[in-house]
Structure 1
């Protein structure tokens, strides 16, 4: 039990807060929908339930993924967060389907009155503010993860949009889901006003369909990102950055192999570097330590394996593109260090 609490403390705090706030919002929306029967509110209720479930799964998965390796699982549990989320998307997919179905029914049979107009609008307005707060919090985490502690004000918004693709999976999920949640609440409010003050009384139904489709987009993005993480996708941006770190060492002749693989919220780097065969062990050891320190200074990279080999007079690494020209052909017989 102590280990479980220790692991939970290491979970994604942005996901935990997002889950708590969305749970409160979902309960409030559920009560109002039960009172008013407003279909736009139902769509937002489904959205909030989906966000609560997803972000709770992210928090638990991110916490358990910090469990140290065991004899049975020597590679550790980093990919557990991806596997957990692949299950969570099924729940959100069902909620998206129900949202679209309810919206279509309301388009066919629009409401005759909007007696609970201001109650619906007030609750959705509060929800939009709360979800916008969580969204902004995820923006700050994205900029902080990139070393942008000095980014403030509206620059946080612009920089987070530019760099959301580089965020860790948990923060990226919170960003995407609350972006859709905030905009979905705004769409629902507009639809309620349109239905109340114009002859277009089916506006709530169309809003519900739009929100359901937005949920499906979130499902698709979550699935693709976490399938990549579960399979161990390469992080090409980080590969280029690590390649630059390696070639900052003047005695490095070539990079035979370089891979930076995503596992859950973590990145793992593996390199095979070619040096001159007459280099001393002390010189190779210093190069190893210099490169390892630079790589591990990257926040998301948790471990690195570096091997050395003789220079084989064939250039494997294209410095202009920061990528290997061809796959590894052999390991050679030179000195190595891990």
Structure 2
């Protein structure tokens, strides 16, 4: 999964890098605010891919004394930074450019250049979107689209897809804005298109920030995994009651589990150790993402 995620990010990085250069050239050559917004959008997306690759690399660092559970949450942090970048830089500058264009509207020169660049950008962006969509579908499985986004623990699978979807929408808006300005002679459509692109980026950033926030501060594993952990523990004869089964994602592929159980009072210390070891072994075998298991002995009547 990590390897395929990197392929998606690299595809988006190369595509957005090339597209941003052509968009800036077209914006400089034609004076289009919408095209300038699109250039900024692609440049921000290029930077975002670099940040995601940085997050993936840092998340692979082994555990140490300062971070005993590893650095898996690095990918959550950098995904959150990506959301901030989209909002602060992409959306902010696009809206600014649009407002400036509305205050001082001017005709777009050589609109054919914009159409050619936007058409090429749609093709390149379409390929990047397809790769991101394919990766997201593979991770989604049988879940619905909304549920898949809410429950996906590897944010790169939906961050890149959201970015590419926003990029495709932005291209369509820029195309329509430039075309309406040319057809009607009203130069304000270029500025309006730039503002709409900024709003699209703002909504995308807000949604990404919302989805990555839970992972960043410590989101639990899926309910199926939590229920499975409780079931495994409760099936042991030495356990009278499973008080709690608490989980936390320390990274996309690392779940920490803490189980509070009430053992039989007659259980010997050696039996207690063997039972804990067996519970841990069964949980890790059933759920490979669970890397660390802590079992806490606690009388449920004293809770």
Task: Determine if the TM-score, normalized by the shorter chain, exceeds 0.5.
Answer: yes
1:238 aligns with 2:231: no
SS of residue paired to 2:36: helix
1:216 aligns with 2:210: no
- Pick 1 or 2: higher relative contact order, CA cutoff 8 A, min separation 6: 2
Q: Match for residue 154 of structure 1?
A: none
Take 1:49 and 1:96, find their aligned partners in 2: how far apart are those partners? Answer: 12
Take 1:111 and 1:97, find their aligned partners in 2: how far apart are those partners? Answer: 21
Q: Match for residue 27 of structure 2?
A: 33
Take 2:275 and 2:301, find their aligned partners in 1: how far apart are those partners? Answer: 20
Out of 117, 123, 136, the residue aligned to residue 111 of structure 2 is 117
1:170 aligns with 2:156: yes
Runs of 4+ aligned structure 1 residues displaced above 6 Å come to 8-11
1:294 aligns with 2:286: yes
1:285/1:162 CA distance change after superposition, 3 Å: closer
1:145 aligns with 2:130: no
Take 1:161 and 1:90, find their aligned partners in 2: how far apart are those partners? Answer: 22
1:48/1:11 CA distance change after superposition, 3 Å: same
SS of residue paired to 2:62: coil
Take 1:166 and 1:40, find their aligned partners in 2: how far apart are those partners? Answer: 35
Out of 100, 104, 107, the residue aligned to residue 105 of structure 1 is 100
Deviation at 1:89, TM superposition (A): 4.7
Question: What is the RMSD computed on CA atoms of the aligned residues?
Answer: 3.0
1:83 aligns with 2:77: yes
Aligned positions, number: 292
1:247 aligns with 2:247: no
Q: Match for residue 173 of structure 2?
A: 187
Q: Match for residue 305 of structure 1?
A: 293
Deviation at 1:94, TM superposition (A): 2.6
1:283/1:67 CA distance change after superposition, 3 Å: closer
| Structure holding more helix per residue | 2
Q: Match for residue 131 of structure 1?
A: 125
Take 2:83 and 2:228, find their aligned partners in 1: how far apart are those partners? Answer: 37
Is contact 2:51–2:78 with CA below 8 Å preserved after alignment?
yes
TM-score normalized with structure 2 length: 0.82
Q: Match for residue 255 of structure 2?
A: 268
